[in-house]
Amino acid sequence: MSRQDEITSNLNSIKERIASACRRCGRDPAGVKLIAVTKTYPASDIEIAVGAGCENIGENRVQELEEKSPLLVCKPVVHLIGHLQTNKVAKAAALADCIHSVDSLRVLEKLETVCGSIDKKINILIQVNTSGEESKSGCSEIECAEICAVAAKSSFCKLRGLMTIGPLDGTDEQNRASFRMLKRIAENNRQFFCDGTFELSMGMSGDFEAAIEEGATMVRVGSGIFGKRNYA
């Protein structure tokens, strides 16, 4: 099987699983955005995925996004989903259309300043640590409310919703508890979201169906589409 056939087949399978999950909980599949996570995969794989109808791609690292962007002929919607350090904000702002990993006022304020300097409006999600794991990035529930309130007054950073990562090696119920927590926090801060948008970015290759059943509007799938990653 060619690489194109492999990715296309996997992508179609993931889309069907998304549709099935939506049917189980009475949702419209059009309300769930599939983000193909391209961490460690080459630009050629991105071209295949976009050509097969997946217009949203997600990158974890700014440096990797910077390396691949000049190689792309296609024009996907680019989501930065990995931890964002303040010293990478300028490059992230220039390359991404949506940043899922704003987790502090410091990052938000830096991003607002940078976007203002290049006159670019950018969609953002606040990353919340819903598992309580110290190894994970993300703000607390209280910090989230504070960041949302400031973001709502921003001119260039457009607050669209929240993002979380389920617990490492979590059970189905632990994952669902994490997703339900994010939805509750989002509901409590709904008044701050731009234009009434209510995005919940949660769920990856191993748990995206549970995330959809708990309300995800964005799911981030990498290995489920592209296969095993090569970290060499």
- CATH says 3-226 is which class? alpha beta
Domain ranges of the chain: 3-226
Buried b (16+ CB within 10 A) or exposed e, 105-123: eebbbbbbebbeeeeeebb
CA distances (Å), 32 to each of 70, 98, 101, 176, in order? 29, 16, 19, 17
Say if CB 138 and CB 127 are below 8 A apart.
yes
Give the confidence band of 232 by pLDDT, cuts at 50, 70, 90: low
| Average pLDDT score over the chain | 96
pLDDT in tens, 1-14: 899 999 999 999 99
Rounded to 5 degrees, φ, ψ at 114 are -65, -45
Give the confidence band of 144 by pLDDT, cuts at 50, 70, 90: very high
Q: For the chain, what's the residue count?
A: 232
pLDDT in tens, 31-80: 999 999 999 999 999 999 999 999 999 999 999 999 999 999 999 999 99
Virtual torsion, Cα 190, 111, 68, 38, nearest 10 deg: -30
What pLDDT, on the 0 to 100 scale, is given for residue 100? Answer: 98
DSSP 101: E
Q: Who wins on pLDDT, 231 or 95?
A: 95
pLDDT in tens, 176-216: 999 999 999 999 999 999 888 889 999 999 999 999 999 99
pLDDT in tens, 147-183: 999 999 999 999 999 999 988 888 999 999 999 999 9
